[in-house]
A and B are shown apart, each in its own frame.
Chain A
């Protein structure tokens, strides 16, 4: 009976024949630059990158380690090289409104040229302006103007003095101005002498002095106006000198940038500003003359005319491809920095810094979706930039309207780029569901497969991929036997003998570790045993918990029998995943059955340790029982099932077959063979369905049996639909081959029952009855008995407690 379901060793593991590869080591294999098994993703990527429409940005979704970053970079870099290069972007001073710096767009490389040109201009000004103002011509003209002024004032005063002298009155300088004094023989009269003068003469002198004072006042009142005129004339002179000094220097730059009207306009503004600030520049030149340190002059006005090259693309071949691994708000959208000066924060256009959006403008920006979403306001900022088609550099405080202090408002940078978000599937579906803007802005879904077909062509491509990864990481080449072992391990990672995993990160790690073990062995070629050692070492590093659990089983702390028989007790199998490491452990499932009202109690659910899927599996059991055995009468059963010694959450329905077998054993009083463990989910029709983690489950029970000693009776019952997923360890395969362990594949509850009880399950005959002695017959009989007892009990209760609605309803 058991032979029907027993699997041959060949079906437990599908090996990879190294002979199918036409190379000896991967050193002979040409690198593969494509994406294996990702045709759908590649098509989507090609479409998303190619289409130039609003909102056609890309979201790369797929499992972690699928090589999404590598794939998109490998695709974009050569693609971008064929695209037109990005532009250079510069911020320059807005002389009319310094709070709003001007933006200049230049062809790639010209921004740097402009920056250097203007820096050279400023450097030249540092010598040209002092030279102009030091020139003899300027000094002569300046002194002429000063002399002219002095002469004009002196002549005016001399006129007053001459008039005074004609009246024997002298004009004296006082500490605060001027005064008139009568004289005789060139000496100022003393008070006594003045008193001795005839009264008429005294009055005459007084009148003369008064008249002279009025005349002097008129003269003095003209002085400020004359000084103002003189200053204006000197200012004009300074402008002329400055213009002459800088004109030819600016002209050289204008010629170099005459093809760029915006730059030419800016250079004209620079010239105008230099001329307008000629006085300041002259003072700076004076400072320079007294302290010949160019930094002095730099500090004065170099900053004013500096070109802030926000983005320079001169070294970029084609369109830029930028990956921002720390996408904070500032790192994405740019920022305005400040410096502290005398305790005050200061900023200007030279302190504007670019973000990733600026650097990727004209090309492609790659971001990790989870990182963007976890950085405060980065996601909002990114969407705003994409939607508006421009980048506004403003602080978070400004963007949120929390800061109203004066700051810079740089001219926005027009945006033309593709944003490529890389993330997992869950995030993509959550964003699609919860963010209405997401689908408008990221219209291209690039979905990466986590598996690929395992056929001859697939193996060959995989070998090429392994060779490429080894070469990129400068690892020792792999023998073809090692490649075959990696392919087999990949199938195990995929949990499918007919599929290969596209988890390139895990494969990459395995290659690195195999390389390590090969070098430890003193060889420079990786063999299959190095790969196996790497796999074993990975497991060894991670399996402390598994070992501990198995140890508790072997010590009898956790009750698992691997021999003998027991009623209503089945070895179920579950999988635990901790830190990416999966392993299987057996769990005892027990059931009880008694007279009741048709409920099957899931104890895990009652104590809230069972998940929804697990509860669903148990509910299916009760309906299977009712449909199969009590179609025409109430199911008069109260049953319970439980995972013994389970103290954690249980999820999934892969134990529903084991639970059902335990329950049926309880009903049929049929002992279950404890040398077997069972896994599989069951539906209402009694069909057994595939479950996950089948390899780990089989190996989990095998390890316990092996530790206690393989008897040749032990084995695992699995769903038949899981056979294609088997990629078991070689020690399990060897044990099965030697008949020391067995794997059975079943497709129905009846088959499982037959294996577990050793009794025929039985099928209904022509009159609808199960053959006597079969498990099903015993179950049906037991349920009928329970139904009759319930009926009897109900009638008895009805007679004894007339009018009890609850009992009446129950009896009905």
Chain B
């Protein structure tokens, strides 16, 4: 269990990881609001999934339409055109959300692995907003009332994540839920540590011990308490299983 303290690092950007499957304006507005709260630049990073390009070159490439549930050919040229259109649409939507929130913004696109390359492109002064909010949100109010959750294992990056989460919770007037990672025997000490960190920030918090399998357990708890946001460090994301992030019940902010 790491115990070093996190150095104070002023934030520069909130990097929003975007991909071709994403068409959720709610997440863009959430990112813009967070950037405004944290007073940082909003940077959209659209990652064209390299796997799609490979698939498009295969002779057996067929796409099943989400809306019509019908098969259609999936050619490389068509894919590239679709991705360009999609990227342009996301750029426009991001710009509108940023202007509405009054934050500076930028946008760029690259080809690679969506989340991994977004995390790779971010610096230590960046936060990365990935995944979450479900792929098929029902039409409705969609206004969350849940807490801001954070995974804490007392590492330097986890302490940074805790500070970020506390700051967001205070700015958003939400409860802070500290998901204490690590073995059961260490949880009391970790909770004290987190409590000590938060005392200086004057942010009240609730605590839940996760036991093992931190990210999966954290996502389960987040779903149960209808968390609006989960803050964690990159180590948790790197250790995530395939598809886990796609099914995340809320947005995830990654601290590098």
A residues within 8 Å of B by Cβ? 133, 136, 139-140, 142-143, 145-147, 149-150, 153-154, 158, 161, 170, 172-182, 186-191, 194, 205-206, 209-210, 213, 216-217, 220-221, 223, 227, 230-231, 234, 286
Q: How far is the CB of B252 from chain A (nearest CB, A)?
A: 16
Which B residues touch A161, using CB under 8 A?
243
**Chain B positions 63 through 77: 1 when the CB is less than 8 Å from some CB of chain A, otherwise 0:** 111110111001000
* Known contacts A172-B52, A230-B138; is-contact A190 B57 (Cβ 8 Å): yes
Known: A140-B226, A145-B138, A146-B137. 12 other contacts (CB 8 A): A136-B145, A139-B143, A154-B134, A161-B243, A174-B74, A176-B66, A177-B65, A189-B54, A191-B54, A220-B64, A220-B65, A231-B138
Quick check: B136 and A177 within 8 Å, CB to CB?
A: no
Quick check: B54 and A176 within 8 Å, CB to CB?
A: no
Quick check: B136 and A181 within 8 Å, CB to CB?
A: no
* Known contacts A143-B226, A175-B82; is-contact A221 B66 (Cβ 8 Å): no
* Known contacts A150-B137, A172-B49, A190-B54; is-contact A177 B59 (Cβ 8 Å): no
Quick check: B20 and A191 within 8 Å, CB to CB?
A: no
Query: Bound complex: CA of A194 vs CA of B57, how far in Å?
Result: 10
* Known contacts A177-B65, A189-B58, A217-B69; is-contact A170 B51 (Cβ 8 Å): yes
Task: Provide a sorted-by-A list of 20 A–B residue pairs whose CB atoms are within 8 angstroms.
Answer: A146-B137, A147-B223, A154-B135, A172-B49, A173-B19, A174-B52, A174-B63, A178-B64, A178-B66, A179-B55, A179-B62, A181-B58, A206-B60, A220-B66, A220-B69, A223-B136, A227-B138, A231-B138, A234-B138, A286-B141
Q: Is B201 an interface residue (CB 8 A)?
A: no
Q: Is B86 an interface residue (CB 8 A)?
A: yes
Name B's interface SS: loop
* Known contacts A146-B140, A153-B136, A176-B63; is-contact A221 B69 (Cβ 8 Å): yes
Quick check: A179 and B54 within 8 Å, CB to CB?
A: no
Which among B54, B82, B86, B134 has the greatest number of chain A C-beta atoms within 10 A?
B54
| Residue ID in chain B nearest A202 by CB atoms | B60
Q: Is B83 an interface residue (CB 8 A)?
A: yes
Q: How far is the CB of B210 from chain A (nearest CB, A)?
A: 20
| Residue ID in chain B nearest A222 by CB atoms | B69
* Known contacts A191-B58, A221-B69; is-contact A174 B137 (Cβ 8 Å): no
Q: Is B108 an interface residue (CB 8 A)?
A: no
Query: Bound complex: CA of A177 vs CA of B135, how far in Å?
Result: 11
Q: How far is the CB of A245 from chain B (nearest CB, A)?
A: 16
| Residue ID in chain B nearest A219 by CB atoms | B69
Interface residues in B110-149 (C-beta closer than 8 Å to A): 134-141, 143, 145
Q: How far is the CB of A190 from chain B (nearest CB, A)?
A: 5
Q: Is B21 an interface residue (CB 8 A)?
A: yes
Quick check: B145 and A139 within 8 Å, CB to CB?
A: yes
Q: Is B61 an interface residue (CB 8 A)?
A: yes
Q: Is B247 an interface residue (CB 8 A)?
A: yes
Which among A143, A217, A227 has the greatest number of chain B C-beta atoms within 10 A?
A143
Which among B55, B59, B85 has the greatest number of chain A C-beta atoms within 10 A?
B55
Which B residues touch A216, using CB under 8 A?
64, 69
Quick check: A179 and B61 within 8 Å, CB to CB?
A: yes
Q: How far is the CB of A168 from chain B (nearest CB, A)?
A: 13
Quick check: A188 and B138 within 8 Å, CB to CB?
A: no
| Residue ID in chain B nearest A230 by CB atoms | B138
**Chain B positions 37 through 56: 1 when the CB is less than 8 Å from some CB of chain A, otherwise 0:** 00000000000010110110
Query: Bound complex: CA of A190 vs CA of B74, how far in Å?
Result: 15
Q: Is B239 an interface residue (CB 8 A)?
A: no
Which B residues touch A140, using CB under 8 A?
226
Quick check: A205 and B60 within 8 Å, CB to CB?
A: yes
Which B residues touch A150, using CB under 8 A?
134-138
**Chain B positions 190 through 205: 1 when the CB is less than 8 Å from some CB of chain A, otherwise 0:** 0000000000000000
Quick check: B51 and A181 within 8 Å, CB to CB?
A: yes
Which A residues touch B49, using CB under 8 A?
172-173
Q: Is B95 an interface residue (CB 8 A)?
A: no
**Pick from B63, B69, B242: contact of A179, CB under 8 Å:** B63
Q: How far is the CB of A386 from chain B (nearest CB, A)?
A: 57
Quick check: A178 and B136 within 8 Å, CB to CB?
A: no
Query: Bound complex: CA of A140 vs CA of B146, how far in Å?
Result: 10
Quick check: A181 and B54 within 8 Å, CB to CB?
A: yes
